[in-house]
Amino acid sequence: MKTKIYKIAVFSDLNNGADTALKSAIGLSKMINASIDFFYVKEASRIVASENQLSAMRSINEEYTLTKKQIEDLVNPIFNKYNVPVAYSFSFGNVKNEIE
């Protein structure tokens, strides 16, 4: 007999409600024994402010580091408190294209 494997996807814009959404997903995951995937997409046009290629690459690298830290700061305390693993990832680009 096959057992169903459930996954919960949490899409966030990293605003103030992100931790509440993640806590709700954790509660649901405990009820149905599901894994949680957290995903964030930031529009590239919000990152790159200049047309200089070197400056654009520097901005993207800085934003990558800051975004990763911001997500880890959101996920790790919740993981430590509830002991539920949360896989997370993020991307820069168009939200619609990245989700597909």
Alpha-carbon distance of 67 to 45, in angstroms, equals 15
Q: What is the pLDDT of residues 23-66, one digit of tens each?
A: 999 999 999 999 999 999 888 777 777 777 888 788 889 999 99
Q: The domain spanning residue 15 has which CATH number? A: 3.40.50.620
Contact 39, 95 (CB under 8 A): no
Domain-located, residue 46: yes
Assign 3-class secondary structure to 26-85: HHHHHHHCEEEEEEEEECHHHCCCCCCHHHHHHHHHHHHHHHHHHHHHHHHHHHHHHCCC
The mean per-residue pLDDT over the stretch 2-6 comes to 80
Token pair in block for residue 10 = 């949490």
What's the pLDDT score for residue 100? Answer: 63
C-alpha 95/C-alpha 42 separation (Å) is 7
Residue 97 has a pLDDT of 72
Give 13's DSSP letter: -
Is the separation of the CB atoms in 22 and 39 below 8 Å?
no
Count of domains observed in the chain: 1
pLDDT at 98: 65
For residue range 81-90, what is the model confidence (pLDDT) as tens digits?
998 889 999 9
Q: Does residue 84 belong to any structural domain of this protein?
A: yes
Report yes or no on 17 lying in a domain: yes
Residue 89 is assigned to a structural domain of this protein: yes
* In a domain? residue 1: no
Give the range of the structural domain holding residue 64, as residue numbers without chain letter. Answer: 6-99
The answer to whether residue 59 is domain-embedded is yes
Can you read off the two tokens belonging to residue 95? 């939200």
Q: What is the pLDDT of residue 38?
A: 94
